[in-house]
Each structure stands twice: as C-alpha cells, then as structure tokens.
Amino acid sequence: MIGILIVSHGAFGEALIHCASHVLGKRPLRVGQVGITNHDDPDLMLTQAQELVRQLDDGDGVLVFTDILGATPSNIASRLLRPGRVVGVSGVSLPMLIRALTYRDEPLGAVADKAMSAARECTVHIDCDSGNATSKN
C-alpha cells in the first residue's frame, strides 16, 4: 500500500485528511501530514517529514502531496523525493487525495498519475443557471 504524506501550509493537510476521512467513513491508514507555519524552521520540519516518510513506507513507496509549487512546504517536500520510492505532486486537493487513497494499491507512479487526473477532471466551471458542471479544457 502506498503511503501518503501531505506537506502544506498550516492545518490544510490535516483538514484534507479529516475531510477524506468523512468521505470514506474512517481515517485512512498510512496517511500523515506536516503543517508548515511561518514560525517553523524548514530544516527541523524536513527532519520531521523524513521521519514520517519512513513511518508511512511499508515498502511500496510514498506519495508526497504539497499545496503550492515553489512555496516553503513544496521546497521541503522536494527534498524528500527519491526516484521510484518517494514521488511528489503539487496542488493537492480533496479530489486528488480521495483518488490517491482509492488507487493506492497500484504502483507508486500510477497512484501519482491517478491523483493528477483527479485534479484535471474535477476542476470544472459550474453553470450558475443549471447547476451543471462543464469542463473548460
């Protein structure tokens, strides 16, 4: 089973996990988060994140989600990456997390691809007249 770590600003990661737990009916196993604030030392947070990666990896690898590419959480997450073992995806959202949790028994690269496809498929314009969602790709 692929482990999942969210490295994000503040409590965003924990909020995503809480929402995913609500959708799935229980808190998923092998999921963790590191919330970065402007008061945190990035090197200390990196050490915490590295320990979580070790805990979450049962041998199949870890998918690391982060929120904003180029921000401090993303920079910390990028230092965790290991080809074939720890893969990163930015722009995390609830649909991405749910998709990753749903397919986490597949290979690591496939889980990352599924998460990114959720971002594309679930980002739509909602028509205010009918309430219907339409893709603007």
The pLDDT value recorded for residue 128 is 75
Range 16-26 average pLDDT: 98
Instruction: Give CA–CA dist 16/61, Å, rounded.
Output: 21
CATH of residue 9: 3.40.50.510
Domain of residue 11, residue span: 3-134
Q: Are 48 and 76 in contact (CB under 8 A)?
A: no
3-state helix, strand, coil in the chain (%, to 5): 45, 20, 35
Q: Where are the beta strands (DSSP E) in 1-137?
A: 3-9, 31-36, 62-66, 86-90, 125-126, 133-134
Q: Would the pLDDT of 135 be above 80?
A: no
Q: Which residues lie below 8 Å from residue 72, measured CB to CB, with a gap of 6+? A: 9, 36, 42
Written as one letter, the residue type at 19 is C
Q: Supply the mean pLDDT for the chain.
A: 94
Q: Would the pLDDT of 133 be above 70?
A: no
Look-up of token digits 């997450």: 77
- Our count of domains for the chain comes to 1
pLDDT in tens, 28-78: 999 999 999 999 999 999 999 999 999 999 999 999 999 999 999 999 999
pTM confidence score: 0.92
Instruction: Give CA–CA dist 98/114, Å, rounded.
Output: 10
